[in-house]
Amino acid sequence: MSSKSHWIIDYETILNLTVLVAVHYQRDEVKVFVVHRYRNDIEEMIMFLEECKRDKSYHITYNGLEFDSQITEYILELKDVFLNGDNDAQHIANEIYNYAQTVISKKADGEFLDYYEKSFSIPQIDVYKLNHWDNPAKRSSLKWIQFTTDWKNMQEMPIFHGQYVDKQEDIDTVVEYCINDCKSTKHAFILSKDQITLRKDLSKEFDLPLMSASEPRLSRELFLLFLSDKMGMNKYDLRQLRTFRREIHVKDIIVPYTRFKTKEFQDLQKYFESRVINKLDPTGQRLILKGALAYEVKYRGMSTFFGSGGVHGATKPGVYEPKEGEIIMTSDVTSFYPMLAIQNKWSPAHLNPKEFCEQYEWFFVERMKIPKTNIKNYVYKIILNSTYGLSNEVNSFLYDPEFTLRITVNGQLSLMMLYEMLAEGIPEAVPLMQNTDGLEMIIPADKKELYLSICKEWEDITKLNLEHDEYQKVFLGDVNNYIAVYKNGKTKCKGRFEFENLALHKNKSMLIIPKAIYNHFIKGIPPEETIMNNNNIFDYCAGVKSKSDWLFEETINTKGVITRRPLSKVVRYYISNEGNRIVKRNILDGREISVEAGLTRKLTTFNQYVEKKWPQYDIDTGYYLTKIYEEINALEGTKQLQLF
């Protein structure tokens, strides 16, 4: 970002009140504009927007592409009316409110909004969009990001938008709320600075509006740019292409080299070959892949599960450490999904396989030449990894569900070929995990060369490459939750054992638990000592969020009198020796679910940070120690099994 005056902005549009707050993206400068009968800043507001337009300042928002930017463009388009008409503040606020409701309704109905990013008077950076927090798997409101970033004030909008505001204190409350939202958006923006820099450089290099682009959109736009040039085809025409299918016969897409020796995996192949995918979405256009395949293989004492998206399997929970004369091998397929397409010359049916695969492979080869510190390495990684997902995205020019399924089905079968070859070739091998693009096994140390030679045989068959490493030890909960210690001493934490550098959308509830587990297993520090030395209240906090038909309530018992206090849609709390019960209630049928079931009067809500001396927080350390030891005992209680 340049030294220009870029602004984090937020609108609140209420029946007779419009508030615009702008917080400078670097300085501690705040601008507040209010349109209400008590205070009419419409002229100053428009002057500010015109100044931003003239200076080409960015407006930085949270979900602003689909709301705040629309309000800005509407106000600028009607500026002469607002300035030269009767200039009645209540009328102007009501007009802006009505338009805001129209924007919300259009979005809810899937209609196109009035203003498009390419035509905005003021360029936008949408922190929500660029982090892909609009994706169902990552869906995150600003309040949830406030929780995951330990923001001190998780304040909900205090005034209902359809309410008539007639008190100065209510206006002040709305302004304070807007300032808090802007400052927390600024915090998320700062935490996303590497992503911002990436998009700034790409936008400049390729002359594309990518400042608010998610990683899948980056992939789509850049692949489109390169492929259209390679094919000599107009980008607009290429963007219109899709392949819609009514059914897929799985047997027709399985690669010819697929062969198994054991009945368990021969039956797996027969299952895949018998399947016909023909379930369509309500529009009758899009083939639904999710849930179309489901199968379990029991082999060598463990279950492996197969679906439309990938494979996963793990042995029983426990601490797995090789005995003397043993090693733990971990092997991953290099760029598994991209290389499956490249080596087998697959492409979406509407694209020329030769041109598609040559371009796809070019990204792979170029990435291998570039240091990981170079921005283009990351860009090409995005393109390689996102293309598979975009082939099942109906709004993408790469859409062809058969291409998606070719990759996932053959990826699973190919990996299982490797699994079977290794397990049958090394009878002493103890399988630990298989997950999408790799596997882990305990093998005799003197069989490492045999292990690698079997892997090389598999590479020759599939034309894929494997990367190998060794673990000293694995603390295994399941295939998605484990701590692995590499031979060089570095560690990898997955799932509920992660506590460092979490993606901002991920649930960071009660980080004290994985921290204590890690310290116990890796550093030999007792959990009691970890808790005694950790006085960060946020590490003890959990977060919950409700869907549209649910709300949170706090049940308060005062000398036997029970009252209920409504809570926010996102609630931050911790377990305390004294406290209240929190329930989630369905507003349609009255169903209630306790937060932290089994606990009564032991939760303290903490949406508003309060600084206290540590004992005054009244942490129920016994609760956290119980949870920590449950995990530790679940792992240590299962000794390493010699399965065969």
Mean pLDDT throughout 568-578? 95
pTM of the model: 0.92
Instruction: In whole angstroms, give the CA distance from residue 397 to residue 390.
Output: 8
Helix axes 193-206, 375-390, angle to 10 degrees: 90
Helix axes 353-369, 215-231, angle to 10 degrees: 120
- Bridge partners of residue 584, in order along the sequence: 552, 593
Give ∠ CA 11-16-17 in degrees, rounded to 5: 30
32-40, Cβ contacts within 8 angstroms, sequence gap of 24 or more: 32/175, 32/178, 32/179, 34/171, 34/175, 35/89, 35/92, 35/93, 35/96, 36/89, 36/90, 36/93, 36/165, 36/171, 37/89, 37/90, 38/168, 38/171, 39/89, 39/171, 40/87, 40/89, 40/92
DSSP secondary structure string for all residues of 476-536 = EEETTEEEEEETTS-EEEEGGG--SS--TTS--TTTHHHHHHHIIIII---HHHHHHH---
248-497 shares the fold of 7-211 = no
Mean pLDDT throughout 450-455? 98
Q: What is the 8-class DSSP label of residue 120? A: -
Query: Of the candidates 466, 614, 427, 641, which has an alpha carbon nearest to the alpha carbon of residue 532?
Result: 614
Backbone angles phi, psi at 148, to 5 degrees: -70, -20
Element housing 542 (H / E): strand 542-545
DSSP-derived pairing of the beta strands 603-605 and 561-566 = unpaired
pLDDT of residue 643: 32
Q: Residue 534: what residue type?
A: N
What are the angstrom distances between the C-alpha of 357 and each of 206, 364, 366, 401, 487?
22, 10, 14, 17, 37
State how far Cα 392 lies from the chain centre. 18
Percent of the chain whose pLDDT exceeds 70: 98
Q: Residue 600: what residue type?
A: T
Considering the segment(s) 248-497 as one domain, its CATH architecture is: Alpha-Beta Complex (3.90)
Instruction: In whole angstroms, give the CA distance from residue 564 to residue 581.
Output: 10
Contact of 343 with 463, CB cutoff 8 Å: yes
pLDDT of residue 3: 52
pLDDT of residue 560: 81
Mean pLDDT throughout 331-352? 96
Instruction: In whole angstroms, give the CA distance from residue 502 to residue 139.
Output: 15
State how far Cα 131 lies from the chain centre. 8
Count of other CB atoms within 10 angstroms of residue 551: 16
**Looking at the predicted structure, is the pLDDT value of residue 405 above 60?**
yes
pLDDT per residue as tens digits for the range 146-199: 999 999 999 988 889 989 999 999 999 999 999 999 999 999 999 999 999 999
Query: Of the candidates 213, 201, 211, 248, which has an alpha carbon nearest to the alpha carbon of residue 391?
Result: 248
What's the whole-number average pLDDT of the chain? 94
pLDDT per residue as tens digits for the range 5-54: 899 999 999 999 999 999 999 999 999 999 999 999 999 999 999 999 99
**Looking at the predicted structure, is the pLDDT value of residue 285 above 90?**
no
Which CATH number applies to 7-211?
3.30.420
Q: What is the 8-class DSSP label of residue 560? A: T
Backbone angles phi, psi at 532, to 5 degrees: -60, -35
**Band of residue 324 on the pLDDT scale cut at 50, 70, 90:** very high
Mean pLDDT throughout 379-403? 93
DSSP secondary structure string for all residues of 361-401 = HHHHHHHHHS-TTSHHHHHHHHHHHHHHHHTT-TTSTT--H
Sorted by where each begins, the domain ranges of the chain are: 7-211, 248-497, 523-635
Instruction: In whole angstroms, give the CA distance from residue 423 to residue 461.
Output: 17
Mean pLDDT throughout 475-493? 96
Question: Locate tokens 């598999």: which residue?
Answer: 458
Mean pLDDT throughout 347-372? 93
pLDDT of residue 102: 97
Contacts of 298 (CB under 8 A, 6+ apart): 264
**Looking at the predicted structure, is the pLDDT value of residue 597 above 90?**
no
Mean pLDDT throughout 617-632? 96
Query: Of the candidates 380, 375, 332, which has an alpha carbon nearest to the alpha carbon of residue 360?
Result: 380
What the block records as the tokens of 613 is 């001396």
pLDDT of residue 575: 96
Beta strands in 402-488 (DSSP E): 430-435, 438-444, 466-478, 481-486
Q: Residue 3: what residue type?
A: S
Mean pLDDT throughout 51-64? 96
Give ∠ CA 376-378-379 in degrees, rounded to 5: 60
What are the angstrom distances between the C-alpha of 485 and each of 132, 197, 321, 600?
31, 33, 10, 39
**Looking at the predicted structure, is the pLDDT value of residue 639 above 50?**
no
Instruction: In whole angstroms, give the CA distance from residue 143 to residue 563.
Output: 26
Question: Locate tokens 């997902």: which residue?
Answer: 389
Output Rg (C-alpha) for the chain, integer angstroms: 28
**Band of residue 601 on the pLDDT scale cut at 50, 70, 90:** low
**Looking at the predicted structure, is the pLDDT value of residue 644 above 60?**
no
**Looking at the predicted structure, is the pLDDT value of residue 509 above 80?**
yes
Query: Of the candidates 125, 130, 122, 126, which has an alpha carbon nearest to the alpha carbon of residue 57?
Result: 122
